[in-house]
Amino acid sequence: MKLKALSLTLATTALVALALPSLAEDKAGTNVSAEGTGSAGATATLSMAHELYALGVASGDALTVLTAAKLAAQSEGTPQEPAALDPAEFEGTTLETFRARKAAPAAPAAPAPMMNEGEPRPAGKATLLTSAGGDEDDGAAKAPVTAAEMFAKAKELAGDDEGLLGLIADAEAEGSRGRIGGAVTWGSALPKGQIDVWEVPFYGNSYAEVAVVGDGDANLDMVVTDQNGNVICYDVSPSDQVYCDFVPAWDGYFYITVENAGRARNSYYLMTN
């Protein structure tokens, strides 16, 4: 199943179609609810902002870049640091083997922790070397573009157009007014041929969003599984912008596996709501 940032409706439709009946009592089935619904939030908006920015830069369109900057300013997430997972628990894992596995991958002994509103979402990460690449230094990592950098790019593309420059100045002054909020971001600099395995808890019966936003240097592929090893989302298209939404049937951990399938290091953000 392939889910991209600008295909939110198709993504939701595909996931609902694949969802199995809720087995929240025994937690033995696929942790996706066929009944739950939700509205796209800050994670989807920020993912779309980066898609628009790439389109605007490619076409040299200052207005498109400005639109992206305004969206990014309203939805940039709160940065967090993940805990370290033991890579040995995932030895021999690739994106394909992770997608195919049906046994719980190093699941915590306790259920996913309950979280209070506004608390940082606990998450863990392990980085693994796969057979597809090497561990040599393949360039300095750069972070994905920020809202401030998007505004600066819009000014550059506007040139001497006073009207456009005025619009950009007004939007920049407005900043994060009307901020959507709710998104959390973690950063990772992933060398070619390596994968990150993220462990993130989500509430049951609550709309969940996951997005990967790369720096544009290499293709990133992603698979999301529940803690029973069932695939929730899968994307191996040639892009480093990936979006997935779903509704868990119960409180539980999900495993988000990101693979650098390109030829250079990619510094990316993982975002969740």
Residue 174 falls inside a structural domain: no
Residue type, 99: R
Separation between Cα atoms, residue 238 and residue 213, nearest integer Å: 13
Mean pLDDT of 64-68: 92
Residue 194 reports pLDDT greater than 70: yes
Give the gyration radius of the chain's Cα atoms. Answer: 19
Instruction: Spell out the residues 6+ positions from residue 138 whose beta carbon is closer than 8 angstroms to its own.
Output: 191, 192, 263, 264, 265
Give the domain extent around 190: 8-36+80-145+182-272
Looking at the domain assignment, is residue 240 inside a domain?
yes
pLDDT in tens, 210-227: 999 888 889 999 999 988
pLDDT for position 126:
82
The count of structural domains within the chain is 1
The pLDDT of 41-70, averaged and rounded, is: 89
Rounded to whole angstroms, how far apart are CA atoms 230 and 91? 19
pLDDT at site 8: 31
Tens-place pLDDT, residues 112-166: 555 555 555 577 788 876 644 444 444 455 778 888 899 999 999 999 999 999 9
Query: Within a domain: residue 257?
Result: yes
Triad 190, 145, 202: Cα angle to 5°? 60
Beta strand extents in 51-118 (DSSP E only): 78-79, 83-84
Give the Cα-Cα-Cα angle 70, 74, 80 (nearest 5 degrees): 125
Quote the mean pLDDT of the chain: 75
Q: Which of 124, 146, 261 is nearest to 213 (CA)?
A: 146
Residue type, position 115, single letter: M
* pLDDT in the model for residue 159: 93
Residue 65 resides in a domain: no
In a domain, 221, yes or no: yes
User: How confident is the model at residue 185, as a pLDDT?
Assistant: 86
Question: Parallel, antiparallel, or unpaired for β 78-79 and 184-190?
Answer: parallel
Q: Give the angle 123-16-224 at the CA atoms, nearest 5°.
A: 30
pTM here? 0.72
Which pLDDT does position 40 carry in this prediction?
67
* CATH code for position 90: 2.60.120.380
Beta partners for 242?
Answer: 212
